[in-house]
Amino acid sequence: MIKTDILIIGAGPTGLFAVFEAGLLKLKCHIIDALPQPGGQCSEIYPKKPIYDIPGFPEVLAGDLVKNLMEQIKPFQPTFSLNQRAETIEKLQDGSFVVTTNKGVKHHAPVVAIAGGLGSFEPRKPPIDNLQYYEDKGVAYTIPEPEAYSGKRVVLAGGGDSALDWAIFLTDVAAEVTLVHRRKEFRGALDSVEKVEELAKLGKLRLITDAEVQGLEGKEKLQSVTIHQQEQGNLKVETDAFIPLFGLMPKLGPIAEWGLEIEKNAIKVNNSLDYQTNIPGIYAIGDVNTYPGKLKLILCGFHEATLMCQSAYQRIHPGKRYVMKYTTVSGVDGFDGSRKEAKKEVVKSIG
């Protein structure tokens, strides 16, 4: 039995930042995640994708954000149950919980924080007859290592942010990039749309709209795709890779059977207070939750994690008064001695 103060389900950015906020309150955390490494989607799906809306970082790669978060929580020594899925939950008479994973490992905590992002994911696949045959032979649905496409010809399909962002990124990596979209208008950010259109004008990217990839050809691996364009008919494009980016279908998995109030595959929470679910002691933070005005942004998950930890402290230590101090005043316990000595030197130099 693994015992902790806060059991966090999900090791994505929100779950990792919750460890930091809990640590400031002297609360220990243990994290369960189905993936073999921390970071959630940022590590598994797009570690090399740039993120632009993290405060203090004009641009940061998703994988680097995870590395920074892991470094930030190191002083609080969190523990992990990785490559395991939270299966069942039992509420004990004292109000605490026992969560058991698919490997039979039991975890006991007075507070459970579900930070599972959008749950597990399956890619939305285009209806192409022989698509499955070419999976891992040129067809992929994510880009964990963009360097793998160095010097190659790549065809992307999709009209959202992911397709636009990767089309822009791969123009500096691949020998040739083609972006196919079934409409003329894109769903992604205007800035990204303008960049793609500019790259197309400069000849650095082939943009084919009002079109769909309908056929794949090749003997042992993918060698070409057939694109049907509404005005030009069928176009054959030689390629080494076809990457349809039509999004991922989220699934909550076993958590959906825990008696939580679910709305459109997300967990309803009380956002006016602390992001607690309909079951006292169970919280949901980050993309996994829903409430009026919800925005699925990493920075919103950080805010939710902070308030969740404050509420968890009161639940774990009922009646105990906690005076919040800014980290510029209180510091972070666990930092090494060299940092403390550096702070002393600063104080001396000031006077």
Domain that holds residue 211: 125-244
228 and 315 both lie in a single domain: no
**What's the pTM?**
0.65
pLDDT, tens only, 55-69? 999 999 999 999 999
82 and 189 both lie in a single domain: no
32 and 111 both lie in a single domain: yes
**Mean per-residue pLDDT over the chain, rounded:** 89
> Is 345 a member of any domain?
no
Helix axes 161-170, 190-201, angle to 10 degrees: 40
173 and 195 both lie in a single domain: yes
The percent of residues in the chain predicted with pLDDT above 90, rounded, is: 74
**Confidence band, pLDDT 50/70/90 cuts, at residue 49:** confident
110 and 8 both lie in a single domain: yes
pLDDT mean over 186-205: 94
pLDDT, tens only, 17-37? 999 999 999 999 999 998 878
> Is 184 a member of any domain?
yes
285 and 180 both lie in a single domain: no
> Is 328 a member of any domain?
yes
> Is 81 a member of any domain?
yes
Residue pair 11/66 in contact (Cβ under 8 Å)? The answer is no
105 and 186 both lie in a single domain: no
Q: How far is it, in rounded angstroms, from Cα 324 to Cα 25?
A: 9
pLDDT, tens only, 252-287? 788 989 999 999 889 999 998 899 999 999 999 999
Lowest-confidence region among 35-39, 86-90, 201-205, 278-282: 35-39
Closest by alpha carbon to 197, among 215, 210, 185, 212? 185
DSSP secondary structure string for all residues of 21-41? HHHHTT--EEEEESSSSTTTH
Any idea what the CATH number is for the domain that residue 170 is in?
A: 3.50.50.60
42 and 191 both lie in a single domain: no
> Is 346 a member of any domain?
no
> Is 212 a member of any domain?
yes
Q: What's the pLDDT score for residue 247? A: 77
> For the chain, what is the domain count?
2
